[in-house]
């Protein structure tokens, strides 16, 4: 049974096609979709081809947990240790934190309310499908029927 499809926002139409079309549509998946974005978290892994942007909504929390791991009970020592970890992480850590929070903002801006969500061209969404090529095929099939 295909994953359920829900409408997240008036901007993102709901898509549903017959399961028998998957094999035919799979060939056209990569060429028809210009911009693919996946919104998920670490508990809902997805199968995505290289080059697909994946937003993990819990990534910022996981970074915070890393920074707070094994802190001393003394608040001043703990604060100093977190500052040192932030310093040691340098620009790479700053980028990770920025990307994590930007991803949450992007998902929120699209009106995503369930995961996993596969979004194409910031206009179409399929919810609940962890196989990204299959979700994109569903979107492409829907798009091919629209004028």
| pLDDT above 50 for 7 | no
Model-level pTM?
0.73
Q: What is the pLDDT of residue 20?
A: 43
What does the pLDDT look like over 100-127, one tens digit per residue? 999 999 999 999 999 999 999 999 999 9
Q: What is the pLDDT of residue 11?
A: 53
What is the three-class DSSP state of 125? strand
Centre a 10 Å sphere on the Cβ of residue 58 and count the other Cβ atoms it contains.
Answer: 16
Q: How confident is the model at residue 8 (pLDDT cuts 50, 70, 90)?
A: very low
> Where do the DSSP E strands lie in the chain?
36-40, 53-56, 117-120, 124-127
| pLDDT above 80 for 78 | yes
Looking at per-residue confidence, does 25 or 85 come out higher?
85
């Amino acid at each position: 049974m295909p994953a359920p499809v829900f409408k997240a926002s008036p901007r993102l139409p709901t898509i549903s096609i017959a399961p028998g079309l998957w094999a035919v549509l799979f060939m056209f998946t990569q060429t028809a979709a210009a911009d693919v974005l996946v919104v998920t978290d670490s508990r809902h892994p997805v199968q995505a081809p290289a080059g697909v942007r994946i937003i993990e909504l819990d990534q910022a929390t996981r970074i915070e947990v890393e920074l707070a791991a094994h802190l001393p009970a003394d608040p001043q020592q703990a604060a100093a240790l977190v500052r040192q970890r932030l310093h040691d992480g340098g620009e790479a850590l700053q980028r990770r934190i920025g990307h994590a929070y930007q991803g949450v903002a992007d998902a929120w801006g699209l009106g995503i309310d369930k995961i996993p969500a596969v979004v194409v061209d910031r206009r179409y969404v399929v919810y609940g499908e962890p196989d990204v090529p299959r979700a994109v095929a569903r979107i492409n099939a829907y798009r091919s029927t629209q004028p």
